[in-house]
Amino acid sequence: MTRTAPRKPAARKPAVARKAVPAKTATKPERKQKKEKKADAKVKVVRDSFTMPQSDYELIAALKQKALKAGLHVKKSELLRASLQTLNKVSAAQLKRAISGLEKIKTGRPKKG
């Protein structure tokens, strides 16, 4: 049987001095403060549905056409929002007159058919 020569241990690299890491204290870590809400942050929008007479719905289309002739492309929601802003600026007596002139309708979804 042949014997192999014993291996010499591999040369070790000299130990590298490590930087001392300060021990963590038992205090709670500081939480990052929440950023203040920006004034120009996105506005939350709400989706809603409602019922209106066909004549009022047609009035929306007529107002959209009127806006197009004036060079302004508007959506239904923009017309409704503009109407709300305008009604908000009128006096209580004018608002009462405008609302009392409306046709009373039954609320809820219309029946199919």
* Model confidence, pTM: 0.56
Residue-range domain boundaries for the chain: 74-103
Quote helix, strand, coil % in the chain, to nearest 5: 35, 0, 65
pLDDT, mean of residues 70-85: 95
Tokens of 79: 């017309």
Helix (H) or strand (E) holding 57: helix 54-69
Least confident interval from 51-55, 66-70, 79-83, 96-100 = 51-55
pLDDT at 90 > cutoff 90: yes
